[in-house]
Structure 1
Amino acid sequence: MQQLGIVDNTAKPTSPLLQTLVDNRTTLVNVAARIIGCHSRAEDVVQDAFLRLSKLQEITLPLAAQVGYVFKIVRNLAIDHYRKQAMEQKYIGNEEEGFNVAVDGDTPESTNLNWEIIETIDAALSQLPDRTRYAFEMYRLHGVQQKDIARELGVSPTLVNFMIRDALIHCRKTIDDERT
């Protein structure tokens, strides 16, 4: 019948393990679905089990052992599938997350805007007293700790904190004034 392109669905599998899988297919799918959490993926797991069992050499086991063996194969494949799925979800984001990814190459407009902001900040910093500008640049640009800046300038760390805060407020105000 297969020569005519007609598949005979009533044919019995030749292996007792395959027959056990076919006989318990619905239960096996339900077992895999409980592990994976998806009925259609559980169907895929049972199909994978069928393919693996079809490649095995003839194994002679008692009937109870055949059922246990087939269930264990499906269970292990379902667990593997679940772990793979969990790992993929951990390292691969969903499609919507891709919309929020920053583009490597800036547009000419954004580059120009960034340079304008930097020039505005530079002009704002030049309006500050030298000591305040120095404290701000050392802290914000070079990452020097405030206590080290205070020691170098001969002032208290609290005063350095206020100088950095004042410089930041002045820069923000200058940028806001520039935009309006």
Structure 2
Amino acid sequence: MELTANTVRDELVERCKQGDSLSYQLLYQRYSKAMYNTSLRIVNNTADAEDVLQEAFLDAFRSLNDFHYRSTFGAWLKKIVINKSINALRKRRGHFVEIDEEREDGVHAIAQEEPIDEADLQYRVAEVKKAIQRLPDGYRAVVSLYLLEGYDQEEIAGILHISHNTVRTQYVRAKQKLLSIIKQGGLL
């Protein structure tokens, strides 16, 4: 069954490559909701996510001849969406701050604070997603890419153009902040 779905997608992409306008529309309909949600989890702003979605599809459609089935079309498009989402965050915030774990000014100490007891917390996925939306941009990007999109820390470092140590530290801090938000009952 899965093999058939991939064949249909490939045929749809091929029809797009030949300039079939209906196929462009069908491809957009097939992927737009998932790609919008991916972007929204990273940028945490509906207008920015909508802009990212449109720009990603425009780039994908313009570069369709560069797509050679080394992955699925969806995976290829998702990479474009994630990169554009990260760029939108950078434009909004400036840039991600590199964290030097060897510093003596307390930066490393924050990551070493006593961990929050995760076993005592019972929560639902919807509550966690609401709490993730309240995280600062850098934390939210790392958590979304790691937990929701399934990228490993090395891949995230490459996507965000930051060190693996920075990804790891931001993930630890984001997790602590996320658990703190949940414990405080600060959910919407």
Relative to the length of structure 2, the TM-score reads 0.35
Decide which structure has the larger Cα Rg and report it: 1
Relative to the length of structure 1, the TM-score reads 0.36
